[in-house]
A = this chain, B = another copy of it.
Amino acid sequence: MTPSLRVVLVAPRNPLNIGAAARALSNFGIGDLRLVNPYEVAYQEARSAVGESKTVLARSREFATLADAVADCSLVVGTTSLGPRGLEHPLKRLEAGARVIRKTLASAPVALLFGSEKYGLSNEDLSYCHWLMRIPTREEHGSMNLGQSVAVCLYELIRNPRAPSPAARKRADAASEERISALLLEVLAASGYVHERAAGSTSQKVRRLVRRMHLEAHDAEIWLGILRQIRWKIGYPDTG
Q: What residues of B have a CB within 8 angstroms of the CB of A191 in the complex?
A: 229-230, 232-234
Alpha-carbon distance between A209 and B223 when the two chains are bound, in angstroms: 9
Whether B193 pairs with A226 at a CB distance below 8 angstroms is yes
Q: What residues of B have a CB within 8 angstroms of the CB of A156 in the complex?
A: 155, 159
Q: What residues of B have a CB within 8 angstroms of the CB of A26 in the complex?
A: 138, 141
Q: What residues of B have a CB within 8 angstroms of the CB of A147 in the complex?
A: 20, 145, 147-148
Task: Tell me, rounded to whole Å, the shortest Cβ–Cβ distance linking A138 to chain B.
Answer: 4
With an 8 Å Cβ cutoff, the count of chain A residues facing the other chain is 65
Q: What is the copy number of this chain in the assembly?
A: 2
Say whether A77 faces chain B, with CB atoms less than 8 Å apart: no
Say whether A161 faces chain B, with CB atoms less than 8 Å apart: yes
Say whether A196 faces chain B, with CB atoms less than 8 Å apart: no
Q: What residues of B have a CB within 8 angstroms of the CB of A137 in the complex?
A: 27-29
A208's nearest neighbour on chain B, judged by CB, is B219
- Residues A48-100 near B (CB distance < 8 A): 52-53, 88, 90-96
Q: Which of A39-47, A110-118, A210-218 contacts B (4 or more CB under 8 A)?
A: A210-218
- Residues A138-157 near B (CB distance < 8 A): 138, 140-145, 147-149, 151-152, 155-156
A91's nearest neighbour on chain B, judged by CB, is B166
Whether A169 pairs with B90 at a CB distance below 8 angstroms is yes
Alpha-carbon distance between A222 and B213 when the two chains are bound, in angstroms: 13
Q: What residues of B have a CB within 8 angstroms of the CB of A142 in the complex?
A: 27
A191's nearest neighbour on chain B, judged by CB, is B233
Cβ contacts A to B, 11 pairs, < 8 Å: A24-B144, A27-B144, A28-B138, A52-B143, A92-B166, A93-B163, A135-B155, A136-B155, A151-B152, A152-B155, A230-B230
Chain A residues near B (Cβ < 8 Å): 16, 20, 23-24, 26-29, 52-53, 88, 90-96, 135-138, 140-145, 147-149, 151-152, 155-156, 158-161, 163, 165-166, 169, 184, 187-188, 190-193, 209, 212-214, 216, 218-219, 222, 225-226, 229-230, 232-234
Going nearest first, the 9 A-B pairs with the smallest beta carbon separation are: A148-B151, A191-B233, A29-B138, A193-B229, A27-B137, A52-B141, A152-B155, A26-B141, A213-B213
